[in-house]
């Protein structure tokens, strides 16, 4: 099977045969896919057919708080070429395309003095990628104004005292200091992030006031994660859960692996690097559970309708509509924190939690009297996540499907009625098959 970008290796395929079929030279196939031994290709493996499939690189520049650095002058040197420009409102450069996956890319930025500073060298790699570069500094956008002259004193230099104020719970002023949105958060994420507004002191001196809506996490998480033990699920734990549910260990493991698969590429899993349970904030659930009363003023975290359609991008930088605009994993706790200030219980219930990504709404099915206690348990360890999913499967009648490996029923009960859109049932079965082979 082939398309313009990839070829899926079939049984008895050879690299030379694929070359004849696709018209791509063997040497080029090997170089594009990092194949050292042309005799060792496996059925089911996807081979890139051209550089467009694997050599695309997008750069994104962020400040210390992960706010996009807009209008940053950059230079990219690769394959004997040099490309320069300024980042857009998302902090991204123009995409580039190297000749081969092994090509090196030098990334430079222009400092305020006009000179260039090299900040990174990366390899193109064997897949189209987004390279994110985070500055150790924070960028604020504000105007400077001269202070008024005081009797008997020289006029001070044009300076703007700044300081972080308490987290703002309101939208930014109609005319912010620069006359433009202060960060990507204010523009696309419902006024999350750093904002700068102008005010004056009692002595009529100008001051730039800095506020940050991007609170990292609700207080309940900060307190609850002090109980974190880091206890991971053992073989004995898996066996006990499987016996209780009357199914094979690999069936439960397949659910866990499916739910945390995307996180592994980010060095995450059931918990993030801050020892917080991994979450995904579901804005449509928060909207439904609060009767949409926050949706008009806070469309980024609440609403039944699609938000910012077409604003998300895939791995090639192509825009697509992800419906609820979940965004990056690094956004989730910021969104939860904002929702928590509006309705704590509904906010916690609107997230999926931990290794099995169980919705907070299902706290009763998981054996808890309230969502707060459920979340506190999720903050302890993976073992608690396993206990919760066993209770969930038992109380929701999922045990027969697990026992009979009815993947469609499992997917419908666990991932919702639209599971076919992302082939959840097929992916579960494929993971289960891999786990069985690994066991043998």
187, 240: one domain: no
Say if residues 213 and 193 touch (Cβ distance below 8 Å).
yes
199, 233: one domain: no
Q: Which pLDDT value is given to residue 350?
A: 96
167, 244: one domain: no
Q: Is residue 151 part of a domain?
A: no
**How large is the average pLDDT for residues 1-19?**
82
196, 269: one domain: no
Confidence of residue 162 (pLDDT cuts 50, 70, 90): very low
pLDDT in tens, 348-387: 999 999 999 999 999 999 999 999 999 999 999 999 999 9
Domain housing 196: 140-144+159-214
pLDDT in tens, 386-423: 999 999 999 999 999 999 999 999 999 888 888 887 78
**In total, how many domains does the chain have?**
4
* Domain of residue 95, CATH code: 2.60.40.1120
pLDDT in tens, 211-228: 544 456 788 888 887 899
Say if residues 47 and 33 touch (Cβ distance below 8 Å).
yes
Where a domain ends, among 171, 189, 214?
A: 214
Q: Is residue 295 part of a domain?
A: yes
Residue ranges of alpha helices (H) inside 169-271 are 184-188, 219-224, 235-245, 249-264
pLDDT at 185 over 50: no
Residue with tokens 């990839």: 6
Which residue has better confidence, 112 or 61? 61
205, 235: one domain: no
Confidence of residue 149 (pLDDT cuts 50, 70, 90): low
**Two tokens at 275?**
């020892």
Q: Which pLDDT value is given to residue 89?
A: 82
Contacts of 163 (CB under 8 A, 6+ apart): 210
Q: Is residue 150 part of a domain?
A: no
pTM of the predicted protein model: 0.53
Which residue has better confidence, 321 or 6? 6
Distances in Å between the Cα of 314 and the Cα atoms of 147, 190, 266, 321 are 48, 21, 16, 10
43, 175: one domain: no
Q: Is residue 149 part of a domain?
A: no
**Two tokens at 154?**
């020289």
Q: Which residues pair with 432 in a beta bridge?
A: none
Lowest mean pLDDT among 107-116, 163-172, 307-316: 163-172
47, 60: one domain: no
pLDDT at 139 over 90: no
SS3 73: strand
342, 225: one domain: yes
Lowest mean pLDDT among 43-52, 124-133, 358-367: 124-133
362, 404: one domain: yes
Say if residues 387 and 365 touch (Cβ distance below 8 Å).
no
pLDDT in tens, 296-322: 877 778 887 765 544 445 445 554 444
Q: Which pLDDT value is given to residue 210?
A: 54
> Phi and psi of 111, rounded to 5°?
-80, 170
């Amino acid at each position: 099977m082939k398309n313009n970008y990839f070829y899926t290796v079939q049984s008895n395929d050879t690299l030379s045969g694929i070359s004849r079929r696709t018209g791509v030279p063997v040497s080029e196939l090997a170089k594009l896919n990092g194949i050292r031994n042309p005799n060792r290709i496996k059925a089911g493996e996807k081979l890139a057919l051209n550089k467009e499939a694997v050599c695309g690189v997008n750069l994104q520049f962020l400040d210390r708080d992960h706010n996009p650095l807009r209008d940053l002058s950059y230079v990219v040197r690769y394959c004997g070429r040099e490309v320069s420009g300024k980042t857009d409102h998302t902090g991204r450069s123009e995409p580039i395309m190297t000749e081969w996956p092994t090509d090196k890319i030098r990334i430079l930025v222009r400092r305020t003095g006009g000179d260039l500073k090299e900040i990174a060298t990366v390899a193109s790699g064997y897949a189209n990628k987004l390279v994110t570069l985070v500055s150790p500094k924070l960028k604020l956008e504000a105007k400077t104004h001269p202070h008024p002259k005081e009797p008997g004193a020289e006029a001070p230099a044009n300076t703007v005292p700044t300081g972080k104020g308490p987290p703002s719970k309101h939208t930014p002023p109609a005319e912010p200091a620069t006359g433009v949105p202060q960060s990507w958060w204010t523009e696309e994420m419902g006024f999350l992030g750093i904002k700068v507004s102008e005010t004056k002191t009692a002595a009529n001196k100008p001051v730039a006031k800095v506020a940050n809506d991007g609170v990292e996490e609700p207080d309940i998480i900060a307190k609850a994660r002090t109980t974190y033990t880091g206890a991971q699920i053992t073989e004995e734990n898996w066996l006990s859960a499987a016996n209780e549910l009357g199914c094979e260990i690999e069936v439960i493991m397949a659910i866990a692996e499916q739910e945390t698969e995307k996180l592994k590429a980010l060095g995450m899993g059931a918990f993030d690097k801050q020892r917080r349970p991994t979450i995904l904030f579901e804005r449509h659930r928060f909207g439904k559970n609060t009767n949409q009363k926050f949706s008009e003023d806070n469309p980024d975290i609440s609403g039944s309708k699609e938000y910012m359609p077409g604003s998300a991008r895939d791995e090639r930088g192509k825009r697509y509509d992800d419906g609820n605009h979940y965004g990056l994993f690094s956004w989730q706790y910021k969104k939860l924190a904002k929702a928590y200030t509006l309705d704590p219980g509904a906010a916690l219930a609107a997230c999926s939690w931990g290794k099995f990504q169980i919705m907070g709404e299902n706290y009763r099915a998981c054996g808890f009297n309230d969502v707060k206690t459920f979340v506190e348990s999720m903050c302890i360890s993976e073992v608690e996540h396993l206990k919760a999913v066993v209770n969930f499967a038992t109380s929701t009648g999922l045990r027969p499907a697990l026992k009979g490996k009815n993947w469609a029923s499992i997917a419908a009960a666990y991932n919702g009625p639209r599971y076919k859109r992302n082939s959840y049932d097929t992916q579960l079965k494929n993971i289960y098959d891999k786990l069985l082979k690994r066991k043998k």
